[in-house]
Structure 1
């Protein structure tokens, strides 16, 4: 059986996916906005720088060494923007410290010039002789600024998305807490027990689930109660006629000819077997799953079980707290199975296993093959009694489980072997 999908893990995956998608979407929108706004800011900075330089240089043009082709005196430093004064014949007549010695634009053009592979250039006329004032910024500087803005935007969006994912995951876990509480309450809810409280729904969405579970439990309890009452009444109704039938068969056997008596004996054995089944059903449904334990010495208890036609050998001994009626019904049905399938001897032994006492029964009958043993063992383990399961094995397993144990088929060299564990052993 494969594991069922987890709601918590599913919600976590959805939250993470939504957060990542949201982060990517926010990054795309913010980056698109920042990219265009950054271009506008940088272009505005170049334009304003050009206007400021024009305002500084133009009034002082006669006193400045314009036309020398040199640069503005300044200590070595990194310039994020450079400027040039370029004459009409494309000579750089003056420039900033880091500006190139060649014109930033190959042709005089006001405002923006797109013919420079390395520079983003803005130009304005400087005088009437065709001199241009160019202010430029390296494309690399602009790309770096855009990359840093994109990196910060992506990092911020991702951090916010992850923080939201963690918060939503924890929130989802807390919101799933009532569902886990409800499942634990359902696990401890026993509709047949008078003191068992129905589960509580602490969330509005869980109320239909809680109501459905309670209604299902009520219907199951009603069905089980009705089945127990019917089975107990049917078994009780059969008990008296079977007792009378056994007495009449005994009298008939004594009065019949010798050649007819073996047939009557087989009828008596069948009647006795049916009586034991009825007794077992009465004991099982009388208990209703409630155990009335008493101290039992198992060796003497087994030797006192009345079962004609089967020699029972007992090895060892053990003491246990168990319901004697239920335990007798279980063992009688197991031993009766041995007789039905042709066994003449059965060996019973006992051992302590952890907190349980294990009763091992091995007969000398034909047994079953390995495939059938595994199939019946799997049916017992899962309590699917309708699958290739006799009444004797089912009753014995029900009694063992009522005592905190179970019935297990064990491999043996010859015959049929079972182990019935009782979890309430005497310490």
Structure 2
């Protein structure tokens, strides 16, 4: 029996979500850390490169101070090219004496400013004081790099490394998700094995598990199944012994009542007739109990003539109509079918039905026996309660022996009992599964 799982949390889904969330958070965190680290490390590397470039130019310009032609904002001759580093030589008054050809005409800053700083929001500048003495006045060397180029390099490197870290994290999340599903497969396999496990059938054993954590669970299920099987076997034995003990006295009681009815005066004939009918019904109930507690045995599948079977199940006051008229072939266990149908017919008669229509229809590979009577029927709410109880095999929910027995017989045949809504009277459908081959 499958238990509805709607609305219940799933271990697999929760585990997959947790692993995916942790992996994604890790990936985002690592990406942020990588971006921050690379951004600041590269910024420091670029500053060091700018400072070292300034120091190299400082050495070159210091050695060539005598031959350089310094003038107002003059540029050093060079072929056309894109400069990623520009430079200026500034005098003590802040005037540009010499510059690279793409450096601005105005000084990056006051001549006394040395070290690293950002100028006017557009440049990153390193200032070094050139040596003064003799004919050389005090001058300052400014080497600069555009901030947009630095930012482009910083963002590009940071984005590339952070994106790579995020991609690796997402791949790990997908891998962990798949791994979680694979690790939960043995639990799903065990649940399916338990669903198909019938401890009362000879030679059947619960499938072995492939994870150490499931070994105690399998042992507990087997222990529970053994206890349940023993409990059911004891109940069946008690019921069978009780039914056997009642059958002989009941048969004798029926015979005695029939004899007494023939010899009694007319005044008490109705009472004896009622007692005889009650004794007959009690005998059928006892016979049904005997059949019911034999239903765990192997079914005796064989062709069954339903019309002939019904002819041997007379119910006083109930007329049977077969559709179509004539033999209605079935395949099933005749004893079990007779016990189930006898109780369904008795239910119809006791609830006021006068006629009952019987049909046999094909149902996939199996068959369906439809019994529709003209009685008062059952309210819709009560019918829904009975159908739900049958679906759950909850036979203790104020359900009579007839419906319980019919459902057990149908399930023994691989089907079940259904109670569809009826415009008139009460309808019961016994669905029987396909007969075994061979």
Q: TM-score range, shorter-chain basis?
A: over 0.9
Query: How do residues 52-91 of structure 1 correspond to structure 2 at under 5 angstroms?
Result: 52-91=56-95
Q: 1:216 aligned to 2:220? A: no
How many residues align? The count is 427
Q: Which moved more, 1:146-155 or 1:302-311?
A: 302-311
Displacement of 1:82: 1.1
Query: How do residues 127-166 of structure 1 correspond to structure 2 at under 5 angstroms?
Result: 127-128=131-132, 129-166=137-174
Q: Which moved more, 1:100-109 or 1:411-420?
A: 411-420
Give secondary structure in 2 for the equivalent of 1:197.
coil
Displacement of 1:382: 2.8
2:35/2:159 contact within 8 Å kept: no
Tell me how far apart the structure 2 counterparts of residues 413 and 118 of structure 1 sit (CA, whole Å).
Answer: 89
Query: How do residues 3-402 of structure 1 correspond to structure 2 at under 5 angstroms?
Result: 3-128=7-132, 129-316=137-324, 317-402=327-412
1:106/1:115 contact within 8 Å kept: no
The 3 A distance-change label for structure 1 pair 239 and 122 is same
Deviation string 1:352-385 (CA, Å, 9 cap, x unpaired) is: 2322222222223222223322332232233222
Q: Which moved more, 1:25-34 or 1:198-207?
A: 25-34
Deviation string 1:301-353 (CA, Å, 9 cap, x unpaired) is: 21222333322232323212211111110110011111211223323232323
Question: Structure 1 stretches of 5 or more lacking a match?
Answer: none
1:191/1:218 contact within 8 Å kept: yes
| Alpha-carbon RMSD | 2.1
Displacement of 1:426: 10
Give secondary structure in 1 for the equivalent of 2:419.
strand
Tell me how far apart the structure 1 counterparts of residues 53 and 217 of structure 2 sit (CA, whole Å).
Answer: 71
1:303/1:312 contact within 8 Å kept: no
Question: Structure 2 stretches of 5 or more lacking a match?
Answer: none
Displacement of 1:157: 0.9
The 3 A distance-change label for structure 1 pair 111 and 197 is same
Q: Which moved more, 1:258-267 or 1:242-251?
A: 242-251
Tell me how far apart the structure 1 counterparts of residues 117 and 27 of structure 2 sit (CA, whole Å).
Answer: 37
Deviation string 1:269-324 (CA, Å, 9 cap, x unpaired) is: 11111110110110121231521122211122212223333222323232122111
Please give the TM-score of this superposition, normalised by the length of structure 2.
0.91
Please give the TM-score of this superposition, normalised by the length of structure 1.
0.94
